[in-house]
Amino acid sequence: MSLYDHDGYNIVMPPSPPQTNYPPGPRGYPLLGVLPQMWSEPLRFFQDAAATYGRVVRINFGSRNAFLLTDPAAIKYVLVDNNANYRKSSTVPIVAQVLGRGLATNEGESWLSQRRLMQPAFHRQQIARLGEPITTEAAALGEQWRAKVKAGEPVNMQTEMMRLTLRLVLKLLFGHDVQGEEDRLGQAWTVVLQEFNRRSWSLVQIPDSWPTPANRRFHRALTLLNETVYQLIDARRGRSQSHNDLLDLLLHAQDAETGHKMSDQQLRDEIMTLFLAGHETTANALSWTWYLLAQHPDTLTQLQAELQQVLQGRLPTVTDLPHLPYTRAVVDESLRLYPPFWLIYRAPYQPDKIGGYPLRTHDMVFISPYLMHRHPTYWPSPEQFQPERFSPEQAKSYSPYVYFPFGAGPHLCIGNNLALMETQLILATLAPQVHPTLLTDQPIQPEAGVTLRPRRGVGMRLGE
Ligand code: HEM
């Protein structure tokens, strides 16, 4: 039975099995299910499960089950066609503690109203204003690199990119209001982020109220951030002067139908969400891109040739980006191999049926851009880094349920244009001046937590 014809993809769902059955999947232990296998190497575990059991796989967690989907039709069904039946399930308390009811955690009518309110701020024309601060900040890092290049000093590219995107997200959100405060706020965010990653992806949850050193550090950092964000909102509300930043765009955002504007609490939640969603993802995308470029000097040479031809040694601007198709292809291919947001979760409000299998309300759905981006059915030589796959003509041919680094459907990443602009501008600013080489010839393994980061960073020399 052909379920969907999407963009020329004729997708055939498996025949319906008996109604009461779960889909096939790896056997687990009593009570814990497959948790022990999954936790040690989630990427390998999911890839093996999909290769062995097919397009809809039961992931048994003992008390709960998830359906792992690698069928584009089923992915479209959950993320788009029947998306109203699915919430972004997270039961980990730290998520609500840090993000409140920001876009990434909000649901239903309240989410829709916030999304409508914020969408215009992320329109391509609006975010184009943010191009200049991005290039300036990247060029400042380039200056710092010059001495390191000369001295042959090694750097951890992931730390460099985290620092850069952290400074950038502060600048993009608050403009000049946080000048001189970047390091203090950056450190607080790093503490919150570490704890966020640890608790979101940890088997054992230590209660938040226990006065452990980690909990105390986390609370101190979160209090500092909350106080700062509220002070910034308060100060800005009293001023009429306009700023080139996201806080301004969000403060003035108004629902065209209802005239509704955001309260301070909503603004705080959205700012924390944008900070979290927009900073580590972009840093990881860039770190992986440098890693791939260091492994593929021919690609770097081609990238530098394009930059030289178009920019002639000057700094890039947003208007240059359409003339840099190879730079874009490098970013797209890097996002294919290492999608920073590697796993999308959903849980149904009402029982549903996927691939003929009944999905209960306490079950979850897992959709992994990482798995789909490396699926041998859809990609020739899926493990190879080949930016040519994303030439402007080719790029259009991929199904959005096979290549979707920014998700799909109504919850599509609101920052996708910003992220693409940021990664391309940073690359175009810094790539002409370096020839990175890796410190080790061992492959760098991805660590799959909330985001996909390079395990132990990316050690490299920048080279002249
Ligand atoms: C390379 C960088 C990025 C990647 C790979 C990425 C990926 C994603 C993905 C896959 C989703 C969908 C999650 C789901 O369906 O459950 C998402 C949602 C989101 N992203 Fe991004 N993102 C990136 C950068 C950014 C940036 C720069 C911002 C903003 C500054 C941002 C803000 C958000 C928000 C607010 C959501 C929730 C949207 C909603 O549910 O309405 N992201 N992102």
- Grouping H, G, I as helix, E, B as strand and the rest as coil, residue 395 is helix
pTM of the complete model = 0.92
**340 CB less than 6 Å from ligand 1?**
yes
| pLDDT: which is higher, 209 or 371 | 371
Q: Which residues pair with 10 in a beta bridge?
A: 5
| Ligand 1 centroid to residue 103 C-alpha, Å | 9
| Ligand 1 centroid to residue 105 C-alpha, Å | 11
pLDDT at 2 over 60: no
Describe the crossing of helices 416-430 and 157-174 by its angle, rounded to 10 degrees: 130
Q: Give the chain's end-to-end CA distance (angstroms, integer).
A: 58
- Mean pLDDT, rounded, for 154-176: 90
Closest residue by CA, ligand 1 atom 17: 413
Rounded Cα–Cα distance for residues 248 and 161 (Å): 26
Atom of ligand 1 nearest to the CA of 409: 15
Q: What is the structure's pLDDT at 9?
A: 34
At the topology level of CATH, where does 2-461 sit?
Cytochrome p450 (1.10.630)
Cβ atoms within 10 Å, residue 106: 22
Both tokens of 372, joined, read 């789909």
| Res. 20 pLDDT band, cuts 50 70 90 | low
Radius of gyration of the chain from its Cα atoms, rounded to whole angstroms: 22
Q: Quick check: 208 and 92 in contact, CB under 8 A?
A: no
Kindly report, residue by residue over 435-460, the tens digit of the pLDDT: 999 999 899 999 998 889 999 899 99
**104 CB less than 6 Å from ligand 1?**
yes
According to DSSP, the β-strands at 452-454 and 446-448 are antiparallel
| Ligand 1 centroid to residue 414 C-alpha, Å | 6
Alpha-carbon separation of residue 105 from 64, 254, 370, 447 (angstroms): 21, 21, 22, 23
Both tokens of 363, joined, read 């079950």
**117 CB less than 6 Å from ligand 1?**
no
Residues 6+ apart with CB under 8 A from 438: 291, 294, 295, 444, 458, 459, 460
Q: In what order do the strands lie in the sheet with 437-438?
A: 154-156, 459-461, 437-438
**408 CB less than 6 Å from ligand 1?**
no
pLDDT at 15 over 70: no
pLDDT at 91 over 80: no
| Res. 326 pLDDT band, cuts 50 70 90 | very high
Task: Choose among 405, 345, 33, 363: nearest CA to 200.
Answer: 345
Task: Choose among 378, 373, 342, 358: nearest CA to 6.
Answer: 378
- Grouping H, G, I as helix, E, B as strand and the rest as coil, residue 454 is strand
Which class for 412: exposed (0-12), middle (13-18), buried (19 or more C-beta within 10 A)?
middle
Q: Quick check: 293 and 303 in contact, CB under 8 A?
A: yes
Q: What is the structure's pLDDT at 102?
A: 92
**405 CB less than 6 Å from ligand 1?**
yes
Counting ligand 1 atoms within 8 A of each CB, the residue from 87, 173, 262, 341 with the most, and so the one to mutate, is 341
| Res. 202 pLDDT band, cuts 50 70 90 | low
Rounded Cα–Cα distance for residues 425 and 279 (Å): 15
Q: What is the structure's pLDDT at 16?
A: 45
| Ligand 1 centroid to residue 456 C-alpha, Å | 24
Q: Which residues pair with 17 in a beta bridge?
A: none
Q: What is the SS3 assignment for 308-360?
A: HHHHCCCCCCHHHHHHCHHHHHHHHHHHHHCCCCCCEEEEECCCEEECCEEEC
**341 CB less than 6 Å from ligand 1?**
yes
Phi/psi region, residue 398 (left: phi>0; alpha: psi -120 to 50; beta: rest), is beta
| Ligand 1 centroid to residue 419 C-alpha, Å | 9
Rounded Cα–Cα distance for residues 229 and 232 (Å): 5
Kindly report, residue by residue over 246-283, the tens digit of the pLDDT: 888 888 888 878 888 899 999 999 999 998 888 889 99
Kindly report, residue by residue over 375-395, the tens digit of the pLDDT: 999 999 999 999 999 999 999
pLDDT at 13 over 80: no
| Res. 89 pLDDT band, cuts 50 70 90 | low
**Which of 64-78, 109-123, 192-206, 342-356 has the least mean pLDDT?**
192-206
| Res. 194 pLDDT band, cuts 50 70 90 | confident
pLDDT at 183 over 70: yes
Q: Quick check: 249 and 415 in contact, CB under 8 A?
A: no
Q: Where are the domains of the chain?
A: 2-461
Q: What is the structure's pLDDT at 256?
A: 78
Residues in the chain: 464
Cβ atoms within 10 Å, residue 310: 17
